[in-house]
């Protein structure tokens, strides 16, 4: 029995070691680096990375609830285009604003890391966007605007946001995104019959981040 107990403990510890290596590897991907050594001149990013490790992994137990949310960012890569909107936003529910933005950027622009939350403003405001780049901006704006829209029955608002993102002048989409970036993505999407706008967090009675509100509705 003692040998069996020792073997079981060995197997469990080995499984945890494998799980930790996978967690660490995926976290590196999330930060678009191959090694923590790349944080040498980025003290704040380095602190955030190691804080994610500390909060995302429990020694002897494995992934924490927060760690599982971090790994959910990777799942965004696997979401099919045919997934319905309700399922998409249920998949995203519970993540922080920062992680949601990172996840949606990776979903729309790819996981290579050329576009990220730190340089997306520069990208959307550059001159001479190609039709492909404009298409990605429309896609990203639609996803962000829908997630930042709060209503008891959001479907009608989502439909208006979809039409707006697909047909509105690019200048209107850039105005929305620039306002969201300046507000650190903390505000809400306002849906009116003839326009879609971004309302800053300071103008709202908010208690939390993406997809949560303290009461009432916004919208259609």
pLDDT digits (tens, 9 = 90+) for 196-210: 999 998 887 655 444
Where is average pLDDT lowest: 60-64, 66-70, 141-145, 215-219? 215-219
Say if residues 200 and 187 touch (Cβ distance below 8 Å). Answer: yes
Phi-psi region of 59 (alpha: psi -120 to 50; beta: other; left: phi over 0): beta
pLDDT in the model for residue 97 = 66
Which comes out higher in pLDDT, residue 93 or 124? 124
Residue 167 has pLDDT above 80, yes or no: yes
Structure tokens at 63: 């992934």
* pLDDT one-digit tens code per residue, 58-113: 888 888 888 887 776 555 444 434 344 445 445 555 556 667 777 788 878 876 56
Which comes out higher in pLDDT, residue 151 or 172? 172
Sign of CA dihedral 32, 34, 35, 38: negative
Say if residues 71 and 26 touch (Cβ distance below 8 Å). Answer: yes
Tell me the whole-structure pTM to 2 decimals.
Answer: 0.54
**The residue to which tokens 């909060």 are assigned:** 55
pLDDT in the model for residue 213 = 39
**45 band by pLDDT with thresholds 50, 70 and 90:** confident
CA distances to 55, 80, 86, 91, 155 from 83, in Å: 31, 6, 8, 11, 15
Backbone Cα Rg of the chain: 20
The CA distance from 96 to 15, in Å, is 29
Strand-pair category, 62-63 with 57-58: antiparallel
């Amino acid at each position: 029995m003692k040998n069996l107990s020792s073997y079981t403990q060995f197997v469990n510890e080995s499984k945890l070691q494998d799980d930790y290596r996978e967690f660490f590897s995926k976290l590196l991907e999330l930060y678009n680096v191959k090694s923590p050594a790349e944080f040498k001149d980025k003290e704040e990013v380095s602190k955030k990375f190691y804080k994610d490790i500390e909060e995302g992994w429990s020694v002897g137990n494995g992934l924490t609830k927060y760690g599982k949310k971090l790994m959910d960012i990777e799942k965004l890569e696997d979401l099919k285009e045919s997934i319905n909107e309700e399922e998409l936003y249920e998949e995203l529910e519970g993540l922080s604003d920062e992680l949601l933005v990172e996840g949606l950027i990776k979903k729309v622009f790819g996981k290579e890391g050329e576009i990220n939350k730190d340089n997306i403003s520069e990208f959307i405001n550059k001159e001479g966007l190609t039709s492909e780049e404009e298409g990605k901006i429309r896609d990203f704006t639609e996803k962000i605007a829908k997630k930042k829209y709060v209503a008891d029955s959001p479907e009608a608002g989502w439909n208006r946001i979809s039409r707006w993102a697909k047909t509105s002048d690019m200048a209107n989409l850039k105005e929305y995104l620039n306002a969201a970036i300046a507000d650190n993505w903390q505000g809400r999407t306002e849906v009116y019959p003839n326009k879609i706008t971004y309302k800053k967090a300071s103008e709202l009675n908010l208690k939390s981040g993406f997809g949560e509100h303290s009461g009432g509705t916004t919208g259609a």
